[in-house]
Chain A
């Protein structure tokens, strides 16, 4: 295929190969330089600062009032958000793919909404609706449910901003799945639930896992939507990203960096596993 192009270039009196190699090399150089400067360098600075005194900075950050609790809370809330959205995300994906109803397109667009809405605006929205001075907030409070300035608020905020992840991971797999298999199972007398469990679930399980892991990774670092609704009370509703901003503003950049590096380590592992999951799934399809 290159030979024809080669002759064209030859006619111009230049070696096609030399030019192509130069062009490819320079583009590759640009790509590598861009990613190295923009991504690898800041991460290197972060890890360097966080661990230049060994584990001391991390230990100090843990000793900061509410520091250890903030990291634990963030892990807990992220895991919870991943579970909730794995459940509802799968349901939403199933409804969007298998059911035909009016407003389906609109529903699909609403699912994507958190991709577009600024996270801080999400926080404002939740505060306006569920805050302690609103009608709904008061009604919920009298029922003993506190959303804003409580852990539930953190969970709700995380669920909103990560809503599309599981849906968008599961949807394409469900679309590929032949409904004939499900119909066959049902004609043979399997109940709806059995059909789902035995036919659909095994096929979409990797996608659900991939989506849920993304939810988890994103939740670990979420700031904008959480900071307004959590109240940021140490030992209670202070999350790790907010802790990082507090440490940074108190001129403890090394402690902030240590916490940040630990969070990054966890979510990077998660993201790596996720991309692996998605790739093996794609490999199986082709």
Chain B
């Protein structure tokens, strides 16, 4: 093969070094261009367009009751989702890692399914279950509880979409720490709850927070599923992303851009948290 050549002459080595430096520069340039075109320039673009008309528009947008309600709703849905998926996520991760039982593989595969489902499909499935003619429609209708076109369905679909994040982040950490510390704590007479809060939780906290941050970001920005189940009722079932949607439809682009920029800004804060948690976790792995 011509690839494996004889040892290199000094002059050749200098040439090689120069070529390697060129390759490095080319590769970096390609990467930077790609990121600039796809992410950085659009982000700057939206910031520019949103702020260009001046602070009056920003102030006007944030004094609009629909906008305030939209952010309020998004915050509620996100908070409920994060608490539910965080709590059950730890339980599921613990069961999947620490227990061996029939159907464990199936359960594990089930955790991945939300990644494979379009958010739109999730919304549709929710309507099929709770909407008119759905499996559970009569049960809840008879009790006067409205699920579809109301908050419950919006929370349900968001939970569905956020389920895997905490589980998938906590699972590897639990696997890695093993049971030794927990066993030691139990042997020394600590109760199960004490062991969990004093030993297990501190060990998994960065993984857990990382998962929580990911699911916060995802829940906050969810649109596909909520789009279908919310019924798009102005000022009632309108989340921040849905408000953007309607404002664009109604050609109120200025306030749409301001809300979009706000969401982007919040998600950048979450991203900073994500990077920090990741950093912490890696460092703890090394220690």
Q: Which residues of B contact A264 (CB under 8 A)?
A: 116-118, 121
Q: Which residues of A contact B (CB under 8 A)?
A: 1-2, 4-5, 8, 23-24, 27-28, 30-32, 34-36, 38-43, 45-46, 48-49, 88, 91-92, 94-95, 99, 101, 105, 107-122, 124-126, 128-130, 134, 156, 159-160, 163, 186-192, 194, 198, 214, 217-218, 220-224, 228, 240-242, 244-245, 248, 253, 256-257, 260, 263-264, 267-268, 270-272, 275
Supposing A28-B99, A121-B260 touch, asked if A111 and B268 sit within 8 A by C-beta, the answer is no
Q: Nearest-CB distance from B182 to chain A (Å)?
A: 10
The 5 closest A-B pairs by CB, nearest first: A118-B221, A221-B118, A125-B42, A42-B125, A223-B224
Q: Nearest-CB distance from B173 to chain A (Å)?
A: 15
Q: Nearest-CB distance from A248 to chain B (Å)?
A: 5
Measured CA separation A41–B228 after assembly (Å): 18
Interface residues of B in 251-287 (CB under 8 A from A): 256-257, 260, 263-264, 267-268, 270-272, 274-275
Interface residues of B in 1-40 (CB under 8 A from A): 3-8, 16, 19-20, 23-24, 27-28, 30-32, 34-35, 38-40
Measured CA separation A36–B160 after assembly (Å): 11
A23 touches B192 (CB 8 A): yes
B223 touches A112 (CB 8 A): no
B27 touches A94 (CB 8 A): yes
Known: A118-B217, A120-B245, A124-B260. 15 other contacts (CB 8 A): A1-B187, A27-B91, A30-B88, A43-B117, A113-B271, A115-B217, A124-B46, A192-B19, A224-B224, A241-B119, A241-B121, A253-B124, A260-B124, A267-B118, A275-B109
> In the complex, what residue of chain A is closest to B43 when comparing beta carbons?
A125
Tell me how many residue pairs across A and B have CB atoms closer than 8 Å.
285
Q: Which of A156, A198, A267 is close to B3, meaning CB atoms less than 8 Å apart?
A: A198
B217 touches A116 (CB 8 A): yes
Q: Which residues of A contact B189 (CB under 8 A)?
A: 8
Q: Nearest-CB distance from B55 to chain A (Å)?
A: 19
Q: Which residues of B contact A245 (CB under 8 A)?
A: 120, 224, 227-228
Q: Which residues of B contact A46 (CB under 8 A)?
A: 121, 124-125, 128
B43 touches A217 (CB 8 A): no
> In the complex, what residue of chain A is closest to B125 when comparing beta carbons?
A42
Q: Nearest-CB distance from A129 to chain B (Å)?
A: 4
Residue pairs across A and B with Cβ atoms less than 8 A apart, 17 shown, are A1-B187, A8-B187, A42-B122, A107-B31, A109-B271, A117-B267, A117-B268, A119-B223, A120-B223, A120-B244, A163-B35, A221-B116, A245-B228, A260-B118, A263-B121, A271-B116, A275-B112
Measured CA separation A88–B29 after assembly (Å): 12
B121 touches A38 (CB 8 A): no
B41 contacts A by Cβ under 8 Å? yes
Supposing A112-B274, A128-B46 touch, asked if A34 and B91 sit within 8 A by C-beta, the answer is yes
Q: Nearest-CB distance from B118 to chain A (Å)?
A: 3
Measured CA separation A172–B75 after assembly (Å): 34
Supposing A2-B183, A42-B129, A46-B124 touch, asked if A27 and B241 sit within 8 A by C-beta, the answer is no
> In the complex, what residue of chain A is closest to B267 when comparing beta carbons?
A116
Q: Which of B110, B118, B119, B274 is close to A35, meaning CB atoms less than 8 Å apart?
A: B110
B24 touches A24 (CB 8 A): no
